[in-house]
Amino acid sequence: MNFIELENGSVTTPQGFRASGVTAGLKPSGQPDLALLVSDVPAEAAGAFTSNLFAAAPVEWDRKVLRGGAPIRAVVVNSGVANACTGQQGAADAQAMAAYTAERLGILASEVLVSSTGVIGKLLPMDIIRHGIDLAVKGLSVDGGEDAAKAIMTTDTVQKRVAVEFELSGKTVRIGAMTKGAGMIAPQMVLCRNRPKQATMLSYFTTDAAIGREALRAALGVALNQSFNRIIVDGDTSTNDTMVILANGMAGNDPIVEDTPEWYQFVEALRFCATKLAQAMVLDGEGVTKFVEINVSGTVDDASARQIAEAIARSPLCKTAWYGADANWGRILCAAGYSKIPFKPAQVNLDFDDVPVVRNGLAVENADEEAQTAVLKKRSFQVNLQVGTGPGRFVLWTCDLSHEYVNINADYRT
């Protein structure tokens, strides 16, 4: 790796960023519930958002702002209320949230991005939001990254943040990031472009690198597709999924140009941060006890391998078997079989880690089921499925489905 991971890193590790996390009063628990991230100078920005047709009001606001192409100065995030499925009032509230933040910071509303996470269908209590923004502005600090990471959590049990450092054109460049998400996690995000294609994952990246908007957007796309778009906790794609990166150029490096060695170095570091946070989300998924890497190979192309992997990762039967360490391999083959991807069953091979399970579509002769079960009892293991001899392959990260997941989501609102 051409970078080093920094201890206790966060979104304020890069130069020129401040953050805060406060208790506004949105959560009955009294836990922190509003975060603010600010760049001291205008920053280039890129974002990717949910593909859910019920996109939340803050997602629609952010898409509009980013399509405008202006630099970004701040991101304000509340947890506890999603502001999704809230109609015209929800849209007005998202805009008002940006406008009030801008007023308190002395910037324009079009320089502020907004995110929300929590219960769908409830309107934001704007008096509480404004109170939280007042507190957050007062609390801004270069050491505020940890507080911000805590304030965006919902059913998460741990903060998720990271930062790395590397050299570009003789200058020290840093990337910092934070994310939240433990349930309603199956991100299928698409980049926000000038002409876009269209519990929650929220992820924010900062960098002091100098990089143009198009090069930044391209880098975000690579990192996204190799990280967050490869995870499935429960198979539900949220209304609020958001991934944003801000680049303020304060490192003073020569501006990064796409498809140059410097750009690929930047992408490598960004992908590392995104992958680490994506995997941390799976490990901290609601009720999760197992981290499962699904490797599918032998298809005609990567998209076909992905479709098979997602069918397996979304199967409640597969996920509950992993929870019970039940080496019920038939459920995996069944899910692959209904994935609508054609293959020859007689060419299928399956391993749990490096333990043989299926050869040529049939159970391994004299199979060592104790060894298979021992793999599934581990905290982390691989499901390696080969369905043919084609060049296609895909890696996906998922988890088991436990009693605790049902307990959490049976009374999420109450």
The CATH number assigned to the domain holding 89 equals 3.60.70.12
Q: Total structural domains in the chain? A: 2
In terms of domains, do 399 and 344 share one?
yes
Among 283, 301, 322, the domain-final residue is: 283
Kindly state whether residues 332 and 276 are assigned to the same domain.
no
Do 239 and 174 have their domain in common?
yes
Q: For the whole model, what pTM was predicted? A: 0.90
360: left (phi over 0), alpha (psi -120 to 50) or beta: left
**In the prediction, which pLDDT does 245 show?**
97
Annotated catalytic residues are: 200
Q: Where are the beta strands (DSSP E) in 284-343?
A: 291-298
> Distance (Å, rounded) from C-alpha 268 to C-alpha 275?
10
Please enumerate in sequence order all residues whose Cβ is within 8 A of that of 259, keeping only pairs 6 or more positions apart, or say none.
none
Walk along the chain (414 residues) and give the pLDDT tens digit of each residue.
789 999 999 999 999 999 999 999 999 889 999 999 999 999 999 999 988 888 999 999 999 999 999 999 999 999 999 999 999 999 999 999 999 999 999 999 999 999 999 889 999 999 999 999 999 999 999 999 999 999 999 878 888 999 999 999 999 999 999 999 755 545 565 565 533 332 568 999 999 999 999 999 999 999 999 999 899 987 666 788 899 999 999 999 999 999 999 999 999 999 999 999 999 989 887 789 999 999 999 999 999 999 999 999 999 999 999 999 999 999 999 999 999 999 999 999 999 999 999 999 999 999 999 999 999 999 999 999 999 999 999 999 999 999 888 887 777 665
3-state class of 400 per DSSP? coil
Q: Which two tokens stand for residue 26?
A: 């949105």
Q: Which domain holds residue 374?
A: 291-410
Q: Are residues 377 and 243 in the same domain?
A: no
Find where tokens 């019970």 sit. Answer: 324
Of 283, 308, 327, the residue that ends a domain is 283
Last residue in a domain, options 235, 264, 283: 283
CA distance 174 to 166: 6
CATH classification of the domain holding 398: 3.10.20.340
Beta strand 242-247 pairing with 362-363: unpaired
Q: List the beta strands (DSSP E) in 303-370.
A: 349-352, 355-359, 362-363
Phi and psi torsions of 236, nearest 5°? -100, 125
